[in-house]
Structure 1
Amino acid sequence: MKKKLSIIDIANSLNISKTTVSFILNGRAREKRISEELVDRVLKYVKEVGYKPNSLAKSLRTGKSNIIGLLVQDISNNFFASIARQIEDRAYKNGYKIIYSSTDNDTQKTQEMIAMFRDRHVDGYIIVPPEGIEEDISALIKDGLPVVLFDRYLPNVKTDYVVVDNLFSTYNATRYLIDKGRKNIAFITFTNQQTQMLDRLEGYKKAVVESKLKTNIKEIDFYPEEKLIAEPILAFLNEHKETDAILFGNNYLGTCGLKVIRKLGIKVPDQLALISFDDTVVFELCNPPVTAISQPIDDIADQVITILLNRLNSSAQNDPKQHITLPTTLTIRESTN
């Protein structure tokens, strides 16, 4: 295996000091009054031998890695993938690279990813937090590392976050179903205490109670395996045949639910009206297309990366925490006609 060149190897080959090589490679040649001739000689040699600096060692010297850590629930989910892509583009234009991972909403995995990012000396964190991660995020903040949460927040952790108005979104969607004459409206959601899901549940309940209808809530444990989501939805629909409308708590539940509904031969919207939180191209291409609560992906991504880039600027580190709530749009399609 070919030995990886170091700054010392370059210095020895050119018969100059390693300090001089370091200054040139770190863009400090003019500051240190190193001649242009020597700078050209070092850079030409570096190009010829294909030298690549050790990014970890550089971060230890400079205190910056120019890397941002991004942790989302599932990078294959259209909502998170679209936001991650836009964050990556903005970060790159500002001199930062992104390393990211899916957490599967798993606390231990998230803790392990945060530890890995710490080892890489990332400069800032963008996190979609699972339950039970409060201490780890508080430790990052205590150590002076900027953290921006999105999609949900942690009530007991003082940090920046960007969310949507989840409560009004499901209230508005449920009211729409009621106004269309639906009287047995079910809400299918995940079993957890995360802020976004609690607010979505609260919005549904508020609309149903105001209309003096009965709530019908199905909570499902989260699993990455689609089969384990589909089975309880199937059992619920078989047990509650009076249901004439369903509001799904997110697009993962919505896509799983669509497959179950098709399997049962239920006619949409004649027998069952459907709305899902989080729009996706799947809903648009379905037959019939599915009404969805569309989140402002562009605005979310822009707000998140703007806040973090500002925090990475030392002059903004001590500014008050930003709590941003954005509106959603109810995109009406044929599943609720």
Structure 2
Amino acid sequence: MMAKKRVSIKDIAKKLGISITTVSFIINGKAREQRISEELIKKVQDYIDEIGYKPNHVAQSLRLGKSKVIVFMAEDISNQFFASIARLIEEKAYQNGYKIIYCSTDNDHEKAKELISTFKMRNVDGFIITPTPNLEKDIKNLLDEGFPVVLFDRWIPDVSCSHVIVQNEESAYQGTMHLIEKGCRNLCFVSVMSTQSQMIDRARGFRKAAQDSNVDYQECLLKFHNLAEIEPYEKLLEFFEQRPGIDGVFFATNYLAFEGLQAMGVLQRQVPEKLKVVSFDDHYFFNLYKPKITAIEQPLEMIAEKLMETMLEHLGELDKVYKPVKVVLANRLNERESTL
């Protein structure tokens, strides 16, 4: 069977009876600068959607030249974890002649989709993304169009895409076993309601450790939120108030630990005398808190290094078949006073 011919800008122009230049302006987001009518813009965009046209990013790069810009799309760029990696990536990108554009998705698919569309039209060279839920199709489209893409913090099982992640399940298992070895027999896992790979893996590691050790455990799942919202904290406060027998808590991420520690303080649940605490995602605050909090530290420097190494590898192979690079890095458990 013969391969289906790829539709070109020339084909679109011929079909619609307009110039190739006009189609190019519209596809590349420069129509309004050229004072092309809204009616014509819509006509071209509707036809493009109808035929499923995808611009060839490789061809654009060869024709227009590289922008030397990489997009870094994080869940929340103000979060210490993402901000630290962003700063490290910026330095590594600059050393290799690239600039970084930062943006936050707020874990919102529609916002992520709009951001991707905007940056595609500006002919950026590649995307480093912490994927939101339901972003599979958009990632596949980027890859189909020839954009280098590297995911981090989480990956998408159904999409063959490069990613840099850490050992979430193994580290959660280690952190939970640490609580059990310190004498905890009634454990709690605090996380968010999420289908994202990193949260699923951390929950799996927690459960496996509890089941392997035959100890009691329960889970408190909160909606995805930011620290300004009060409702999740109130639910956490109510959860612990109704369960005074809990003697060990594993927080799936540091901002949940902040809220949990606040709740324990209100309930006068002494740490580590009454219950012991471990959190994923170490934070400088954990060294300032009294008592200092045991936490799992992700290798930020190595994550940034592998992200840029993988991106640069893809950027150097634009004319070759995309071959996903999959990196999984080890974490470190920093034992402190909260588990004494």
The TM-score with structure 2 as length reference comes to 0.80
Query: Which of 293, 299, 303 is the matching residue for 2:302?
Result: 299
Distance in 1 (alpha carbons) for counterparts of 2:206 and 2:276: 15
- Is contact 1:229-1:253 (8 Å) kept? no
Question: How far did 1:259 drift?
Answer: 1.6
Which residue among 266, 275, 286 is the counterpart of 1:263? 266
> What displacement does 1:285 show?
0.7
The answer (yes or no) to whether the contact 2:146–2:318 under 8 Å persists in 1 is no
Cα distance in 1, alignment partners of residues 318 and 108 from structure 2? 35
Partner of 2:247: 244
CA distance in 1 between counterparts of 2:260 and 2:229 reads 10
What displacement does 1:235 show? Answer: 1.3
SS in structure 2 of the partner of residue 100 of structure 1: strand
Cα offsets for 1:243-297 (capped at 9, x unmatched): 1111000011111212222222221100111111000001111001000010011
Deviation at 1:62, TM superposition (A): 2.5
Matched, 1:231 2:216: no
**1:94-243 maps to which residues of 2 (within 5 A)?**
94-224=96-226, 225-243=228-246
TM-score computed with the length of structure 1 as normaliser: 0.80
Contact 2:77 2:83 in 1 (8 A): yes
CA contact (8 A) 1:146 1:311 kept: yes
Preserved contact between residue 87 and residue 305 of structure 1 (Cα < 8 Å): yes
Structure 1 unaligned spans of 5+: 1-57
- What CA distance in whole angstroms lies between the structure 1 residues aligned with 2:319 and 2:285? 41
- Give the secondary-structure state (helix, strand or coil) at the position aligned to 2:106: coil
User: 2:315 corresponds to which residue?
Assistant: 312
Map of 1:254 onto structure 2:
257
Shift of 1:215: 2.2
Q: What is the RMSD of the two structures over their aligned residues, measured on CA atoms?
A: 1.6
How many Å apart are 1:61 and its aligned residue?
Answer: 5.4
Work out whether 1:71 is the aligned partner of 2:73.
Answer: yes
SS in 2 for 1:274: strand
1:52-63 aligned at under 5 Å gives the runs 62-63=64-65
- Larger displacement relative to structure 2 (103-112 or 60-69): 60-69
Q: In 2 relative to 1, CA 287–312 (structure 1 residues): closer, same or farther, beyond 3 Å?
A: same
Distance 2:320 2:116 in 1: 21
Runs of 4+ in structure 1 deviating by more than 3 angstroms, as ranges, are: 58-61
Percent identity over paired residues:
42
Q: Secondary structure at the match of 2:100?
A: strand
The AA in structure 1 aligned to 2:142 is L
**One-letter amino acid matched to 1:175:** M
Work out the number of aligned pairs and report it: 280
Q: Compute the displacement of 1:59 (Å).
A: 7.3
Question: Partners in 2 of 1:154 and 1:269 — Cα distance?
Answer: 37
In 2, Cα distance between equivalents of 1:242 and 1:236: 12
Q: Which has the larger radius of gyration?
A: 1
The 3 A distance-change label for structure 1 pair 174 and 316 is farther
Unaligned runs of 5+ in 2: 1-59
Contact 1:74 1:80 in 2 (8 A): yes
Which residue type is aligned with residue 80 of structure 1?
Answer: F
Match in the other structure for 1:335:
338
Alpha carbons 2:253, 2:280 under 8 Å: kept: yes
Q: Are positions 1:86 and 2:81 aligned together?
A: no
Cα distance in structure 1, aligned partners of 2:162 and 2:81: 20
Go from structure 1 to structure 2 and tell me whether the alpha carbon gap of 1:336 and 1:226 turns closer, same or farther (over 3 Å shift).
Answer: farther
Distance 1:205 1:189 in 2: 13
Question: Does the residue aligned with 2:216 lie in a helix, a strand or coil?
Answer: coil
Corresponding residue for residue 290 of structure 1: 293
